[in-house]
Chain A
Amino acid sequence: MNALAKLDAHLESRLKDLSKAKERGQKIIGYSAGGFLPEELILACGAIPLCFIQAGDNTVLRNSGAYICRWFDPFWRSQAGYLTSGKDPYYSIVDLIVVPITDNHVRAFSNTVGFYTPGIKSFVFGVPHVKDKVALEYYLKGIVRLKKMLEDFTGVEITESRLKQSIELCNRERELFRKISRMRKRRNVSVSGRDFVALNHGSFLADKETMVDILEQFIKEVSDDSPVFGDAPRILYTGSTLARGDSKVMDIVSDNGGIIVMEEFAEGIRPYWDSVKVGGDLLAGLAETYFMDRICPGWFRPGTERLDFLIRLAREYNASGLIWYQLLYRESYKVESYFFSGILKKQTGLPMLVLESDYDAVETEPMKTRIETFMETIRG
């Protein structure tokens, strides 16, 4: 069985495995997307982390309409829909929901959790929107409170050695993702964007050690393979959120002979560029990596770090075009898209296509037309 098939099989039985773990007394901790929750803390107290990253189904948005108005990003409305409808079994299995609050879309979801599902235990902590020492201290205080709450909730003390062990495990996972991702710098690419995203998405739900094994196997498999995407247009794919279940753009790019060589998303793609230091104050190390080192999402102020990073990625990954995929009503990305295309053009000469989604099936055909045209433009 190849690595991806192994991942599929693992995820297929994952809910049953989780139920069994729950019966054994293990706690399951769900957390919302965004990459600001250090899974290490959950693992270190013997609990199981699960990130809620499912979306793309328009019917769930209709469910959310009873709890939140439609003027929010469809990913976060989807989360409200899944939370309240029971349509995502992962929401039903968790013992606790943790919400790191970033922007107002996430805050709206956190309100839904707190107000409409008071029976579900929840915990929130805030993520500042600027990066500096003061902000780092605030973030660190948030994860210190999280640690204490997890210890109380699970009854397991997060010792130095347990935390170090879980950091090493998560570092290994990040290192493997980096390795796979960097393989795509080569002219002849053997890793498709869809496979990379499937692995990354899988990592939010899979058992951590199993996931590390799968990633190691995947690297061996692709190292043996010959290149499969020689002359395909190379797409740098970016946006706020790439949910599990939202593969429309990736599918259309692939159907048109293109290859996504890099995904830069704030939600739905696990940040993997940096490892956590295992020496010194471990909590401070977590805060450093998860908050300071990590490339900031578009709702940080200013958003220039991310925009500069995109330029760097475009160059390093030899991109031939950038697809900017924003979700409807996520204003930070909408506003940035207006001025970034000019910056990208000026600094790299690359074209940029802006696509917007409300997870609606009617978007597919216009999206196809636009992507097809974009690919033809790239091919010249």
Chain B
Amino acid sequence: MGNYYDELFSLCGFEHEEIEKERSRIEASFEKLGIGPDDMETADSRVRRHHDVSLEGVRKLLGAWLKELIDLVLAREEGKKIVYFGFPAILGPGLMLRASSEEVFVSAPDMVLNHTMGQIFNKLDPLLEAGEANGLPPGHALCSLWQAKIGGIAKGMIPVPDLALASSYYCDMGSKADDLVTALYGVPIAYIDGIMDSKWGEYPEYLPERVHYLGARINQAFEKAEKVLGIEIASDAWERSRKNSQPFRDNLAKLTEVMKADPVPVSLVELELLEALSGSSTGSGIQEGIKAMDILIHELEKRVEAGVGVTEKGAPRVMVRLGHTSDPRVTRLFEEAGLAVPLTYILASRGGVKVKSGENYGTAGEIIAEYEMEGGYYHGTEGQIRLYERAAELMKLDGFIAQYLYNCRPVATISHIQKKYLEEKTGLPVLSLEIDNFDSRAYSAASMRTKVETFALMLKAKKGR
């Protein structure tokens, strides 16, 4: 027998049999999340308005996020050992934990809440407010992802984890907010510490001790996880985790090829949906995401063959850092202004721009650390900006929309430098945009449209359009 949510789940790529099979879990999770029949109209309308549901791959991607949400919300009841990590994250440790035991659920819950409670149900604000009331007040440029996470825990929507993997290699806020979770709920933390102490001009080189140090921390986190969770990290966990996630990376690389087309075949809104999944999930989300991408890439290749795109052929091509994680309205604005977005930072770093292979290290932690160091993101500010630079040629860009997240210090460090650097090095114009990419409560469409449209007009004029 059908229920009020069946239509939404069908829209989000669930097969009828899947809905039947998952019915009790859907209902149990919705009860915790406070989602009911009254929310369906909004959800249906948001999904149809903001996502290209004519693409089965997109519908399946939305479904992958919903599956990850249900797994997250019910993890405690279902007897899982729960591990949270922050976003962005070095994903290797989480993937290895997941590969070591079926009993372990590892996820970035804030991103899951953003993409579901935010993007689909438009019910993120109460979580953000709960986060603000529980140690992360507004007005201090604190991370809104963390506000959603703390808020979700405080409201009992998501479980208190058994272990936190703190992204101490990147984010001061994340590690300190993990301390807050410990203070409030007694959650043990494995601090994966690293030091972004590269000197300007050093990238892509780095000191070997950075790999040794970060690698040692990752290895220590495994030891702590074994102790706290009562599991054993399998000797082949690294290989298995790579095998589990490699198809996703391969698909990102394929997608990058597809996105070289003019016109670009799919919206940034959908790119965001899939690339964020690769940084947020280690379980069903990522596995379902792989299947969704297989379908999506096939659909997009057909679009490319037919010359179909989301913007006009010849539209100025810009790279943006990433789409909005909880509110697709914000992301849509770039294409509404006539700009084609073939590439984002995550897509470039995970699937596009290749990193050189370095020397071999002996432990899983060091192997992961070396991989991340060469990728640039956790190397330092210069590594991040140089990825944009390399992408210009790769994707035949006409400009950059270089967002910086005001409430994310590691990203805000690039605020002024990225514009000056990229304009000087590539000769392409750069629009620097200050944003909150996770919380749209303070978003002003008019203000942003003025900036983006003006930039788009300038790029079009430059292209003689």
Contacts and interface: CB of A to CB of B under 8 A. Distances in A.
B371 interface: no
B133 to A, nearest CB: 11
A105 interface: yes
Contacts of A103: 172, 409
Contacts of B437: none
Q: Which of B136, B177, B416, B417 has the most CB of A within 10 A?
A: B416
B307 interface: no
A290 interface: no
B391 interface: no
A111 interface: yes
Contacts of B381: 107, 111
A129 interface: yes
Contact of B179 (A101, A107, A116, A302): A302
B196 A107 contact: yes
Interface string B140-166: 111100000000000000000000001
Contacts of A248: none
Contact of A301 (B142, B191, B380, B412): B191
A30 B166 CA distance: 33
Interface string B171-190: 11101111110111000010
B341 interface: no
Contact of B415 (A68, A114, A298): A68
Contacts of B197: 101, 107, 110, 124-127, 142
Interface in A203-226: none
A307 B181 CA distance: 16
A88 interface: no
Contact of A129 (B137, B175, B410): B175
A66 B419 CA distance: 12
Interface string A317-344: 0000000000011011011101100000
Contacts of B416: 66-69
A111 B417 contact: yes
A335 B136 contact: yes
B148 to A, nearest CB: 16
A114 B200 contact: yes
Interface in B419-449: 420-421, 434
Nearest to B179: A302
A285 interface: no
Contacts of A123: 199
Contacts of B142: 331, 334-335
A72 B135 CA distance: 20
Nearest to B420: A115
A301 B173 CA distance: 11
B141 A332 contact: no
A374 interface: no
Contacts of A127: 195, 197
A225 B137 CA distance: 47
B179 A301 contact: yes
Contacts of A69: 404, 406, 412, 415-416, 434
A332 B166 CA distance: 14
B199 A301 contact: no
A111 to B, nearest CB: 5
B172 A331 contact: yes
Interface in B164-222: 166, 168, 171-173, 175-180, 182-184, 189, 191, 193, 195-201, 209-210, 213, 216-217, 220
Given A71-B412, A111-B413, A126-B197, A335 B141 contact: no
B251 to A, nearest CB: 32
A141 interface: yes
B407 interface: yes
Contact of A331 (B173, B184, B191): B173
Given A128-B193, A303-B179, A115 B209 contact: no
A331 B406 contact: no
A337 to B, nearest CB: 9
B183 to A, nearest CB: 4
A284 interface: no
B439 to A, nearest CB: 15
Contacts of A124: 197-199
A134 interface: yes
A190 interface: no
Interface string A115-145: 1101000111111111000110010011000
A19 interface: no
A155 B195 CA distance: 29
B195 to A, nearest CB: 3
A299 interface: yes
B417 A101 contact: no
B172 A71 contact: no
Nearest to B421: A115
Nearest to A299: B172
B180 A335 contact: yes
Contact of B412 (A101, A108, A129): A108
A301 B195 contact: no
A201 B416 CA distance: 32
Contacts of A247: none
A135 B193 contact: yes
A107 B413 contact: yes
Given A69-B416, A114-B201, A134-B217, A299 B176 contact: yes
Contacts of A128: 193, 195, 213
9 contacts: A104-B172, A104-B410, A107-B410, A111-B413, A111-B414, A111-B417, A134-B216, A142-B197, A302-B182
Q: List the 3 shortest-distance A-B pairs measured between CB atoms, nearest first.
A: A114-B200, A126-B197, A126-B195
Given A103-B172, A334-B142, 20 more contacts: A71-B406, A101-B196, A104-B409, A107-B197, A108-B409, A110-B197, A110-B199, A111-B382, A111-B413, A113-B200, A114-B200, A116-B417, A125-B197, A127-B195, A128-B193, A129-B195, A301-B168, A301-B176, A303-B176, A332-B172
